[in-house]
Amino acid sequence: MAELDQQALHSEMTAWRRDLHAHPEFGFEERRTAAFVAEKLRAFGLEVAEGVGGTGVVGTLTRGSGNLAIALRADMDALRIAEQGKQAWRSQTPGTMHACGHDGHTSMLLGAAKLLANEGGFDGTVRFIFQPAEEWGRGALAMLDDGLLERFPFEEIFGLHNMPGLPIGHFETRSGPVMSAEDNFEIVLKGLGGHAARPHAGQETLVAACALVVNLQTIVSRRLSPADVGVVSVTELITDGTRNALPGLARILGDCRSFRSEVSAAIEKEMRRIAEGTAQAYNVAAEITYTREFVPLINDAALVDEAFAAARMVLANNVVHVAAEPMTASEDFARFLDHVPGCFVFMGNGDTAPLHNPAYDFNDEGLLHGARFHAAVVRRRLALGS
Ligand SMILES: [Zn+2]
Ligand SMILES: [Zn+2]
């Protein structure tokens, strides 16, 4: 089969990336993006299924007679952040932008599909999964609930995310825990509001809320084992008080991170005990809602070695790093790893603004590295003559 001109592919991927960047879409609203992806995949000769888990797209490419199937995954959604960039391809949708580089991820996976469809070099089936709503932590589950594994079976899955601060062409990950679970909570304290001059006549909730915010800090410092990683962050405190009226209602919201389900369970249990105890001490009532948004992302050790070997097929030896520590950020890719083994890697985005920053932009210099990495993974895992 014909080898693709790498420079031409890079130019084409850059044009796709900038088109997607100019037209960002929020989670489960990626209709234009999904149509863009489906049209390209069909043009490359793939079998395409649309509307998988809402706006998800799955492309299938088979070569040879091998029975194994592996999946490569990209995410397509943007964020509700107002872009500050001045580049020609800046967002044309006010208040929405690709601040996490999912435009780049989508373009790289399309590039890999074009490479593999044109050049082959593998024996088996590749599933190209373009998922919606990664930022919500809902898109992977939506695809799984829509029968992804039954309709488009695969044995392994690989994904990547760009990483500002890591040089272009560098890849980084680790085996075992890579990214954390994310839980969200809301605690509503209910009492009786009243005149600011007569606190004894009501059951105001603000002093109780302040005590509760401080008491919650003891979950990690005093209740978890020092060997466990956990984060409990209170991010919002909202009351219905006003200048001269004490609040009868206070809402405390926040976010917890952990790498093991036992730790997540312990955080919830302690939070309930502390919230109820503090509320009682201050003569108010507490209502607690605790939800699990993301599960921890756990890489398969053998497939990490495979991913590193694939990265070395694309680039020189010295650009593969074993990450020293897991990150307390979260990734929807973890949902797929609940079902099949896989590996998630970070790819350098160079010296750019951080992810989720209004000045962030995906670095087009990395596009070819990502596409070739995906293709190399396929050629290793579905090797000819194996
Ligand atoms: Zn993000
Ligand atoms: Zn992201």
Q: How far is the CA of 103 from the centre of ligand 2 (A)?
A: 10
88-106 average pLDDT score: 98
Asked whether residue 150 is domain-assigned, the answer is: yes
Q: How far is the CA of 101 from the centre of ligand 2 (A)?
A: 6
Q: How far is the CA of 132 from the centre of ligand 2 (A)?
A: 11
Residue-level pLDDT at 319: 83
Tell me the pLDDT band of 85, cut-offs 50, 70 and 90.
confident
Residues 112 and 197 placed together within one structural domain of the fold: no
Please name the helix (run of DSSP H) or strand (run of DSSP E) that holds residue 181, with its range, or none: strand 181-190
Nearest-angstrom CA–CA distance, 9 and 59:
19
Tell me the pLDDT band of 53, cut-offs 50, 70 and 90.
very high
Residue-level pLDDT at 199: 95
Q: How far is the CA of 47 from the centre of ligand 1 (A)?
A: 29
Cβ neighbours, 10 Å, residue 227:
5
In the chain, the number of structural domains is: 2
Q: How far is the CA of 156 from the centre of ligand 1 (A)?
A: 23
DSSP string over 232-269: EEEEEEEES-BTTEE-SEEEEEEEEEESSHHHHHHHHH
Residue 290 region by backbone torsions, left for phi larger than 0, else alpha for psi between -120 and 50, else beta: beta
Q: Residue 134: is its pLDDT beyond 90? A: yes
Nearest-angstrom CA–CA distance, 186 and 188:
6
Which residue, of 294, 309, 338, is where some domain finishes?
A: 294
Residue-level pLDDT at 136: 87
Residues 157 and 237 placed together within one structural domain of the fold: no
Nearest-angstrom CA–CA distance, 212 and 218:
10
Residues 83 and 122 placed together within one structural domain of the fold: yes
Residues 234 and 364 placed together within one structural domain of the fold: no
Q: How far is the CA of 135 from the centre of ligand 2 (A)?
A: 7
236-261 average pLDDT score: 96
Q: Residue 2: is its pLDDT beyond 80? A: no
Query: What is the domain-level CATH number for residue 244?
Result: 3.30.70.360
210 is in an annotated binding site: no
135 is in an annotated binding site: yes
Which residue, of 231, 265, 294, is where some domain finishes?
A: 294
Residues 175 and 324 placed together within one structural domain of the fold: yes
Asked whether residue 347 is domain-assigned, the answer is: yes
Spell 23-41 as b/e; 16+ CB within 10 A means b. Answer: bbbbbbbbeebbebbbebb
Nearest-angstrom CA–CA distance, 311 and 309:
5
Residue-level pLDDT at 121: 96
Q: How far is the CA of 205 from the centre of ligand 2 (A)?
A: 38
Which ligand is closest to the CA of 75, given by its number?
2
Q: How far is the CA of 272 from the centre of ligand 2 (A)?
A: 31
Q: What residues contact 353, with CB distance under 8 A and at least 6 apart?
A: 164, 359, 360, 361
Residues 97 and 216 placed together within one structural domain of the fold: no
Asked whether residue 13 is domain-assigned, the answer is: yes
Which ligand is closest to the CA of 106, given by its number?
2
Residue-level pLDDT at 358: 97
Tell me the pLDDT band of 317, cut-offs 50, 70 and 90.
low
Which ligand is closest to the CA of 102, given by its number?
2
Q: Residue 279: is its pLDDT beyond 80? A: yes
Tell me the pLDDT band of 3, cut-offs 50, 70 and 90.
confident
Parallel, antiparallel, or unpaired for β 156-163 and 297-299?
unpaired
Q: Residue 133: is its pLDDT beyond 80? A: yes
Alpha helices in 95-249 (DSSP H): 102-119, 139-145, 148-151, 206-216, 218
186-202 average pLDDT score: 96
Asked whether residue 1 is domain-assigned, the answer is: no
Residue-level pLDDT at 246: 97
Asked whether residue 371 is domain-assigned, the answer is: yes
Residues 151 and 68 placed together within one structural domain of the fold: yes
Residues 215 and 94 placed together within one structural domain of the fold: no
343 is in an annotated binding site: no
Residues 346 and 331 placed together within one structural domain of the fold: yes
Q: Residue 386: is its pLDDT beyond 70? A: no
Residues whose beta carbons lie less than 5 angstroms from ion ligand 1: 100
pTM tops 0.85, yes or no? yes
Tell me the pLDDT band of 28, cut-offs 50, 70 and 90.
very high
Residue-level pLDDT at 372: 96
Residues 161 and 31 placed together within one structural domain of the fold: yes
Tell me the pLDDT band of 151, cut-offs 50, 70 and 90.
very high
Nearest-angstrom CA–CA distance, 185 and 234:
9
Q: Residue 139: is its pLDDT beyond 80? A: yes
321 is in an annotated binding site: no
Residue labelled with tokens 């921890």: 296
Tell me the pLDDT band of 185, cut-offs 50, 70 and 90.
very high
Which residue, of 275, 294, 313, is where some domain finishes?
A: 294
Residue-level pLDDT at 321: 87
Question: Would you tell me the crossing angle of helices 367-381 and 102-119 to the nearest 10 degrees?
Answer: 50
Could you tell me which of 353, 351, 181 has the C-alpha nearest to residue 261? 181
**SS3 label, residue 285:** strand
Residue-level pLDDT at 315: 81
Tell me the pLDDT band of 1, cut-offs 50, 70 and 90.
low
Asked whether residue 233 is domain-assigned, the answer is: yes
Spell 248-281 as b/e; 16+ CB within 10 A means b. Answer: bbbbbbbbbbbbbeebbebbbebbeebbeebbee
Q: How far is the CA of 139 from the centre of ligand 1 (A)?
A: 13
Tell me the pLDDT band of 170, cut-offs 50, 70 and 90.
very high
Q: How far is the CA of 259 from the centre of ligand 1 (A)?
A: 19
Asked whether residue 270 is domain-assigned, the answer is: yes
Residues 321 and 266 placed together within one structural domain of the fold: no
**SS3 label, residue 207:** helix
Task: Look over the chain and give the mean of its residue pLDDT values, rounded to a whole number.
Answer: 96
Q: Residue 307: is its pLDDT beyond 80? A: yes
Q: How far is the CA of 340 from the centre of ligand 2 (A)?
A: 21
Asked whether residue 285 is domain-assigned, the answer is: yes
Backbone angles phi, psi at 203, to 5 degrees: -135, 75
Q: How far out from the chain centre does Cα 70 lie?
A: 20
Nearest-angstrom CA–CA distance, 372 and 314:
6
Residue-level pLDDT at 194: 95
182 is in an annotated binding site: no
Q: Residue 318: is its pLDDT beyond 70? A: no
CA atoms within 13 A on the CB side of 53: 27
Residue range(s) defining the domain that contains residue 229 = 181-294
Residue-level pLDDT at 175: 95
Q: How far is the CA of 194 from the centre of ligand 2 (A)?
A: 45
Residues 352 and 282 placed together within one structural domain of the fold: no
Residues whose beta carbons lie less than 5 angstroms from ion ligand 2: 100
